[in-house]
Structure 1
Amino acid sequence: MSAATDVDALLRLMPPPQDGGTAIDWEVMARSWGRPFPPDYRRFIEEYGAGTIEDFLVIDAPQLNVPLEEAGLDGMVQETMSAEGVWDMAEKSPELEETSPRLISWGVDAAADLMCWDASGEDPATWPVLVFNRSDNLFRRYDCGMAEFLTRMMRGSFPECPLEDDTVWERGEASWEKR
């Protein structure tokens, strides 16, 4: 479901920064979270770094899984805590009813929608994307990795836009700003 080569399609739709992405000690990150990160996310960060698509959709940098007061109020730890906080109160699409996924957030948009992995499985290459659409108060599952999810968003190849706002939906191409 998630392969480093999935980033190749994104490279054609969204040019990476000229100075490249960010080098990460993935072994340290894996120990911190108790599991490795998906291969497409690792390659995405190495190609792009953290930043925003169309000044709308934020892709978080990997961050050590530490208490919030150490992590800060902006990033993967905070957004993961936000996703965990809304999980019990939110509605779920039928395939998510009666499940208790291990959530790890990798993105958020300007409409406060959250994009996470269901990191319950042992193999991060098989983790699906879960999206919390804040306006619908609904979690939905997408059986693809993060890079394929972004590519399908830009191409408009889901039955409908998974996010509240369609800024990235059906764009075909997008701009990236590293932060």
Structure 2
Amino acid sequence: MCIDDLITLMPPLSGAGSDVDWEAVEDAWGTSFPSDYKAFMRHYGPGAIENFLSILEPSIDASGQPGGYMFEETWVAQDEWESSGPSDAWSTPDAILAWAVDGTADLLCWQRTDENPDAWPVVVYERGRDLWQRYECGMVEFLLRIFRSEHPRHPLSGTPLWGTAEPRFLTLSQERRITASGRDPWA
């Protein structure tokens, strides 16, 4: 499964996408990012799917350090991992890197267990059940499996994305522009 499958299922609106300076971001964050995530950012950018799942973008603060929502949610995820992570210790909290948060405050992360970021599994903190689950796939495949109802069970506390035949994605700027025109962007 690849980004082209996701684009077919969830076409990005004109003007979507983000030009991330990956060299600078990866230097500041001290890690590479998965290629499917980079492709997602190139085509979609940060924003929301169905006003439920917020996809985060890595940013750098004025001092050249990691910052923004991805940094904040990663800190929350690492704290949750430390307090409620699996007892078999798949990895340490600092190996957890958040890439999305949903409307029920579930955290979607990568577990940085390999030097190759394309080999990182997705781990989800399902807040409603106070449970971490691991999925042996990348971000794009994980999303496609949700939209196609292909996971053994829905991996999130809320169900707005499960089996969504035509999911919609809006960047924050697109959502604001539609709202400013007097329309509900999610209607």
> Are 2:96 and 1:100 equivalent residues in the alignment?
no
Structure 1 partner of 2:74: 80
1:34 aligns with 2:27: no
RCO greater where, 1 or 2, for CA within 8 Å and sep 6 or more? 1
1:65, 1:77 within 8 Å by CA — same for their partners in 2?
Answer: no
Count of matched residue positions in the alignment of Structure 1 and Structure 2: 169
Corresponding residue of 1:23: 19
Query: What pairs with 1:70-149 in structure 2 (closer than 5 Å)?
Result: 71-72=67-68, 75-92=69-86, 97-101=88-92, 102-149=95-142
Which segments of 5 or more consecutive residues in structure 1 lack a partner in the other structure?
Answer: none
2:134 matches 1:155? no
**Counterpart contact for 1:17–1:177, Cα < 8 Å:** yes
Larger Rg computed on CA atoms: 2
2:175 aligns with: none
Q: Deviations over 1:16-61 (max 9, x none)?
A: 1211301011011111121211000001000001000000000001
Under a length normalisation based on structure 2, what TM-score does the superposition of the two structures give?
0.84
Establish whether residue 167 from structure 1 lines up as the match of residue 160 from structure 2: yes
After TM superposition, which residue ranges in structure 1, 4 or more long, deviate above 6 angstroms?
none
Distance apart, 1:98 and its partner CA: 2.1
Shift of 1:15: 1.1
Aligned residue in 1 for 2:179: none
Match of 1:59 among 55, 71, 77: 55
Shift of 1:163: 0.1
Using the size of structure 1 for normalisation, the TM-score is 0.88
Q: Supply the RMSD in Å over aligned alpha carbons.
A: 2.0
Q: Aligned partners of 2:21 and 2:10: how far apart in 1?
A: 25
Q: CA deviation at 1:119?
A: 1.4
